[in-house]
Chains A and B, each alone.
Chain A
Amino acid sequence: MGTLELWANGEAFIREGFVSKDGWALSFNQVYVTLADITAYQTDPPFEPESDGELQVQTQVGLPGPITVNLVSTPEERALLGSLTAPAGHYNALSWRMVPAVFGPATGYSLWIQGSAQGDPGETIDFVLKFPQELAFTCGEYVGEERKGFVTPDQTADLEATFHFDHLFGDGELPPEDSLNQSALGFAPLAALAVQGSLEMDWASLQEKLSPAEADSVVEILRGLGHVGEGHCRETAARP
């Protein structure tokens, strides 16, 4: 038996801030995500999230949760969800559900984003965006600089649930025609809803205020939020 650590990562976009596709400089104070049924699998054959195939599970270990983490204030650039004693082998698939938090400031919301946006000089908007959606992600192997999930006896391995927030706001470092920016909401539609430099809205209010196309795009963006590094996930909305 070895140890498998499970982490959540909002990437440098969240920790360090970034410029949205429409030129707003975003910084983040709190970004809470709540995960449940976090399960790592050894599968054979490898799970392909973009196919119709199901997980062929050989071994699995998991954390029931729900576990709420702040993706901004993490001492190790990512948030530890928990450590598991796990049979040796390669854990090449990971699944989790995003569910509403049951305690703390994000109670009732699976995703809580609090930050500040700077547009033109002197223009600042403090914002809080609250999403209650339940989402379920089933992912294949972590794809990144190194391979992950190889548990060996008496050693520690890790896996990571990665959240791509540039999909929501876009990336000002990419050209406007880049497909990421073509599909991202950006921040300008949210800035237009701010009152006296402040915006605090839950999903129900956002749905009312945004255009139908913008609201639909947010739903799609949330469905694509979960990754394993650069690797893809299959999402099934438990509750839209």
Chain B
Amino acid sequence: MELGLLGLSLLIPSQAWAHGVEASYQAIPTFQIEARYDTGEPLASAQVTVFAPTDPTRPWQEGQTDAAGRFVLQPDPELRGLWQVRIRQAGHGVLLNVPVGDLESGTAGISSSSPSFGPLQRGVMAACVIWGCLATALFFSTPRRATPSTRSEFTSPALEHD
């Protein structure tokens, strides 16, 4: 599936005559972020702050990672641009840049990095897995599993201790 679909919406209204109820569903882009130390230890219950591209100074969403260091971001697909996700825990911090919209071939705007820090520095790895719209729809209708053709990852290690 092409990530060029990212940001598009799939809106399929279905008519239901009883009681005049109408239901529809819409696929929206979903980003699963996973934060862990370079030792493999997850950043469990880390503080997560999401900033939308339209207002980088005011949190759009706040939350925390789960026990596995994961956080699911569902940005407003109408707000295209660079979303930024700040993950902090006990003096360790990372700022992850998540491009939303206008992605092509699954790699546009995605960066990958290889840590260049010395062995004496403890890294925080933040990986982001992106599903496009169709995959998102499938996400809700099938068991969660990796979909290699529709996901990309990038890592942004940062790290350290206050």
Contact = CB atoms under 8 A, between A and B. Distances in A.
A179 B157 contact: no
Contacts of A171: 161
Nearest to A229: B93
Contacts of A223: 118
Contacts of A166: 161-162
A50 interface: yes
A147 B55 CA distance: 12
Contact of B113 (A51, A167, A229, A230): A51
Interface string B144-162: 0000000000001111111
Interface stretch (A32-40, A137-145, A203-211): A137-145
A183 B121 contact: yes
A65 interface: no
B82 interface: yes
Given A48-B111, A50-B113, A179 B162 contact: no
B116 interface: yes
Interface in B109-162: 111-123, 156-162
B116 A52 contact: yes
Contact of B114 (A52, A143, A220, A224): A52
Contacts, number: 99
Contact of A179 (B37, B94, B95, B118): B37
A118 to B, nearest CB: 23
Interface residues of B, number: 35
A232 B122 CA distance: 11
A50 B95 CA distance: 12
A220 B119 contact: yes
Interface in A182-240: 183, 217, 220-221, 223-224, 227, 229-232, 234
Nearest to A46: B97
Which secondary structure characterizes the binding site on chain B?
A: loop
Given A48-B113, A51-B111, A143-B86, A220 B120 contact: yes
B114 A140 contact: no
A143 B158 contact: yes
Contacts of A183: 119-122
Q: Which 7 A-B pairs have the closest CB atoms?
A: A230-B93, A51-B113, A183-B120, A143-B93, A179-B122, A220-B120, A232-B158
27 contacts: A45-B97, A45-B111, A46-B95, A48-B111, A50-B113, A50-B123, A50-B157, A51-B112, A51-B113, A52-B113, A90-B56, A141-B95, A147-B86, A150-B56, A164-B160, A164-B162, A166-B162, A179-B39, A183-B120, A183-B122, A223-B118, A224-B118, A224-B160, A230-B158, A231-B93, A231-B158, A232-B159
Interface of A: 11, 45-46, 48-53, 90, 140-141, 143-144, 147, 150, 164, 166-167, 171, 179-180, 183, 217, 220-221, 223-224, 227, 229-232, 234
